[in-house]
Amino acid sequence: MQPLALRGLLFVLYALVAYGVMFELPERLDRLLPNAGLSPVSALLIVLWLGLGLGLAGQLVFDWHRRHRYSTVLLRTSVALLSVAVLLALLWIETVICVAIILPVAVAEAALGIWLTRLLLARFEARTQLCVALFALPFAAPFLHLPLPEMSERVAISTSITIEAPAAVIRAEAENVSDIAENEHIWTFTHSILRAPRPVSAHTSGGIRHARWTKGVRFEEHLLPGPDFAWRFAFPEPELLRAIDPRISPTGPEVVMLEGRYAFEPLGSARTRVTLTTTYQLNTPINAYLKPWGRLFLNDMHRAVLHVIANRAEARP
């Protein structure tokens, strides 16, 4: 095996161990010591800290003696991280959605970790024992409790469309959506590229709208009083949402899905502006990074549903 390939394999193994420490060890500690578990913010800080550790490992594995340029080490580390991400997705350990969200963060953190490691190596170049010890440093993070104020933010995403049909007809189509055929789907980035679950059907009975998506996703929407068609999200079986994200629950603490709402604005006797809004709460130190992803996913979901409702309402006699 070529030296570079062997070094890449070593980095991949290190990254897989780091992945286990990031996600498996905190969960096991929480089960063993439920009263001493990590706060959500501390858990996220561990992920960020281990991201720096990946950069440290990348520098030490690919360029122990600092003979290569920073950009060369970063490129090799990024390729190795991409290989790990692909492996996790192919083995169904993580969804493509999770990989797409986390990979840019991992690469950015690794880039900073490489830079910091090069500074340390320049300062302590003769102390090779220190270099070996640096490998183990990031794995101390899960045992540290690092409290930070949680940043809570309420986010509402709205998507509008004009439909050539009366509001009453459109509302009826929205309340009960029969099975969506394959030829009724539109192309979206999150559904077509990231393979996110698509809406399949929804039916309303007894004040509850039962929603069904592909990949076995199921949840409820409890209707709210008022002129709009609005609801509060309910997830009686959270395990049925694992296809969206196996690690983040829609009931918190990081993301809490709150409400959904259709607003119907008549623009004439047979023309209506329809706005679909989803509201959720985000409680992480990296809200600014996660909000664009939330906007992308929800806008694609809104567009997919509104497209079907529009076509069906406009086809009514």
Phi, psi angles (nearest 5°) of residue 178: -70, 170
The fold of 152-315 is: Alpha-D-Glucose-1,6-Bisphosphate; Chain A, domain 4 (3.30.530)
Contacts of 311 (CB under 8 A, 6+ apart): 184
Residue 5 has a pLDDT of 64
Percentage of the chain exceeding pLDDT 90: 35
Residue 8 has a pLDDT of 63
Residue 73 vs residue 47, higher pLDDT: 73
Q: What is the mean predicted confidence (pLDDT) over 121-131? A: 58
Flag whether pLDDT at 196 surpasses 80.
Answer: yes
Flag whether pLDDT at 312 surpasses 90.
Answer: yes
- The Cα-based distances of 172 to 181, 203, 226, 276 in angstroms read 19, 10, 16, 15
Residue 251 has a pLDDT of 77
Q: What is the mean predicted confidence (pLDDT) over 175-198? A: 91
d(C-alpha 80, C-alpha 76), whole Å: 6
Q: What is the mean predicted confidence (pLDDT) over 275-303? A: 92
Residue 237 has a pLDDT of 82
Lowest mean pLDDT among 11-20, 41-50, 212-221, 259-268: 41-50
Amino acid at 48: L
pLDDT digits (tens, 9 = 90+) for 226-284: 888 999 999 988 776 776 766 667 877 788 999 999 999 999 888 999 999 999 999 87
Residue 108 has a pLDDT of 87
Q: What is the mean predicted confidence (pLDDT) over 123-132? A: 55
Quickly state the pLDDT bin for 295 (edges 50, 70, 90): very high
CATH 3.30.530.20 intervals, the chain: 152-315
Query: What is the rounded average pLDDT for all residues in the chain?
Result: 80
Q: Tell whether omega for the bond before 142 is within 30 degrees of 0, i.e. cis.
A: no
In the block, tokens 């899960």 appear at: 142
- The Cα-based distances of 299 to 79, 103, 226, 302, 317 in angstroms read 31, 22, 24, 5, 29
Residue 199 vs residue 114, higher pLDDT: 199
Phi, psi angles (nearest 5°) of residue 309: -60, -40
d(C-alpha 287, C-alpha 281), whole Å: 10
Q: What is the mean predicted confidence (pLDDT) over 23-51? A: 55
Residue 34 vs residue 174, higher pLDDT: 174
Residue 229 has a pLDDT of 93
Lowest mean pLDDT among 87-91, 130-134, 181-185, 299-303: 130-134
Quickly state the pLDDT bin for 2 (edges 50, 70, 90): very low
pLDDT digits (tens, 9 = 90+) for 135-157: 555 555 545 444 555 578 999 99
Residue 44 has a pLDDT of 56
